[in-house]
């Protein structure tokens, strides 16, 4: 069985007309639709990449599981920023070529079959569903994965997607909710798949006083926290990306951490099909994992942009606009009959958000703050003056 057919409303060509209309606004458009970082990569990352450009791991084939230095950096990142000793949990790691690849191939690498069911939030990153469909398995949407009664008794559940902080809503689950999910999944023999790509960009209860040594206190709870998983990584896989925390989306650097009995076979399969991070990029990733100062600085930029954007959205009439629990998006209910009505109105102001239909609810819109300070402030000014 190869890749199966998939269907999704996630098609950015549907936004093209709104981008064209927005570009006609005096002063140009402000595109707050796609969450692609705009800030520079740190000098340290670039130096690590350059210094490794003719090293043995560059002219020779790099290891699928990463260099010893990268593997140590991933483990130390978990210990320092998540309070997790991976070895003590029976967990290991493998780098992935960006987190989207890992998400899209997860159901296939778990060898799920057509009769198998994958649970995911109704409001969610669309690649969860696409990946399940590619494997030929069945997608089951629930309003809240933390409500384990909504899925625990469904026949054939083999995996549960958790995304905290959530893209697009910013919703963040607490440690007790995550623990309940892990326990319910273990009762039915299912794997928990936790997308934690925005973990260090949590805002709930934060005054952003974080420094490089205190990021863990400002992070979203981890599915691999010993208190959450009862001291064992059994049946758990967590995904993390450096795209947002370190502005390395183009480097395609992420990793999977969790149950050694699940990660090791995935690593072997990844080796056979060449899903390997290039050697010099592994060196850059190693540096970035230890560079907490850059993460702290980036947090401050994003929080400032969120505050500016929320102020503008509220002034325009989006009364539910608020700093999210975590992540880089403001998720608001449309003022018109659906998101497409609002896309029209906002394009007339030169502003392009993402339609909520892409993420599971056509009654909402998602505004990203992965735009420059100037661009976000310009959008907020237009919204306040409209």
pLDDT tens track for 126-155: 999 999 999 999 999 999 999 999 999 999
Neighbour count for residue 337 (Cβ, 10 Å) = 10
Mark whether 85 and 22 lie in a shared domain. Answer: no
* Contact call for residues 81 and 219 (beta carbons, < 8 A): yes
State which of 265, 290, 315 marks the end of a domain: 290
Over residues 12-53, the pLDDT tens digits come to 999 999 999 999 999 999 999 999 999 999 999 999 999 999
Mark whether 211 and 67 lie in a shared domain. Answer: yes
Q: Is residue 66 part of a domain?
A: yes
Neighbour count for residue 36 (Cβ, 10 Å) = 14
Count how many Cα atoms sit within 13 Å of the Cα of residue 219 in the half-sphere of its side chain: 29
pLDDT at 217: 83
Mark whether 29 and 151 lie in a shared domain. Answer: no
Mean residue pLDDT across the chain: 96
Mark whether 30 and 76 lie in a shared domain. Answer: no
Mark whether 208 and 356 lie in a shared domain. Answer: no
* Owning domain of residue 363: 12-40+293-385
Whether residue 190 has pLDDT greater than 90? yes
Q: Is residue 56 part of a domain?
A: no
- The domain total for the chain is 2
Over residues 350-359, the pLDDT tens digits come to 999 999 999 9
Mark whether 226 and 367 lie in a shared domain. Answer: no
CATH classification at residue 19: 3.90.1150.10
- Burial (Cβ within 10 Å: 0-12, 13-18, ≥19) of residue 260: middle
Mark whether 184 and 148 lie in a shared domain. Answer: yes
DSSP string, 74-92: HHHHHHHHH---HHHHTEE
66: preceding bond cis by omega (within 30 degrees):
no
Instruction: Work out the pLDDT band at 123, boundaries 50, 70, 90.
Output: very high
- Using left for φ > 0, alpha for ψ between -120 and 50, and beta otherwise, residue 247 falls in left
Whether residue 250 has pLDDT greater than 70? yes
State which of 273, 290, 307 marks the end of a domain: 290
Mark whether 215 and 335 lie in a shared domain. Answer: no
Q: Is residue 137 part of a domain?
A: yes
**In a 3-state reduction of DSSP, which class is residue 258?**
strand
Q: Is residue 47 part of a domain?
A: no
Over residues 285-327, the pLDDT tens digits come to 999 999 999 999 999 999 999 999 999 999 999 999 999 999 9
Cα radius of gyration rounded to whole Å, the chain: 21
Whether residue 171 has pLDDT greater than 90? yes
Q: Is residue 225 part of a domain?
A: yes
Mark whether 136 and 192 lie in a shared domain. Answer: yes
> Stretch 68-87: mean pLDDT, rounded?
97
Look at 211 and 328; give whichever has higher pLDDT: 328
State the Cα–Cα distance between residues 349 and 199, nearest whole angstrom: 33
């Amino acid at each position: 069985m190869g890749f199966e057919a998939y269907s999704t409303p996630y098609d950015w060509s549907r936004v093209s007309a709104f981008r064209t209309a927005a570009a006609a606004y005096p002063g140009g458009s402000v595109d707050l639709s796609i969450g692609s970082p705009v800030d520079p990569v740190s000098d340290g990352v670039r130096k690590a990449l350059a210094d490794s450009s003719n090293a043995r791991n560059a002219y020779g084939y790099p290891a699928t599981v990463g260099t010893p230095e990268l593997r140590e950096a991933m483990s130390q990142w978990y210990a320092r920023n998540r309070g997790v000793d991976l070895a003590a949990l029976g967990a290991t790691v493998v780098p992935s070529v960006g987190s989207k690849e890992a998400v899209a191939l997860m159901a296939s690498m778990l060898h799920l079959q057509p009769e198998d069911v994958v649970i995911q939030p109704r409001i969610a990153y669309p690649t969860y569903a696409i990946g399940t469909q590619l494997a030929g398995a069945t997608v089951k949407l629930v309003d809240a994965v933390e409500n384990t009664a909504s899925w625990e008794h469904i026949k054939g559940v083999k995996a549960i997607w958790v995304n905290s902080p959530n893209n697009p809503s910013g919703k963040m689950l607490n440690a007790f909710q995550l623990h309940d999910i892990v326990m319910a999944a273990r009762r039915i023999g299912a794997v928990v798949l936790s997308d934690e790509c925005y973990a260090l960009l949590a805002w709930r209860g934060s005054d952003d006083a974080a420094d490089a040594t205190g990021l863990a206190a400002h992070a979203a709870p981890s599915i691999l926290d010993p208190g959450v998983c009862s001291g064992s990584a059994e049946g758990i896989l967590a995904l993390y990306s450096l795209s947002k925390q370190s502005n390395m989306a183009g480097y395609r650097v992420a990793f999977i951490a969790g149950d050694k009995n699940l990660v090791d076979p995935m690593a072997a399969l990844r080796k056979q099909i060449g899903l390997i991070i290039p050697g010099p990029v592994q060196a850059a990733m190693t540096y970035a994992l230890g560079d907490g100062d850059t993460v702290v600085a980036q947090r401050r930029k994003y929080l400032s942009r969120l505050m500016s954007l929320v102020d503008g959205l509220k002034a325009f009439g989006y009364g539910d606009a608020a700093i999210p629990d975590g992540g880089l998006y403001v998720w608001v209910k449309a003022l018109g009959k659906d998101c497409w009505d609002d896309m029209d109105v906002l394009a007339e102001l030169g502003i392009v958000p993402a339609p909520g239909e892409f993420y599971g609810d056509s009654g909402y819109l998602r505004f990203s703050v992965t735009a420059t300070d100037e661009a976000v402030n310009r959008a907020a000014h237009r919204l306040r003056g409209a």
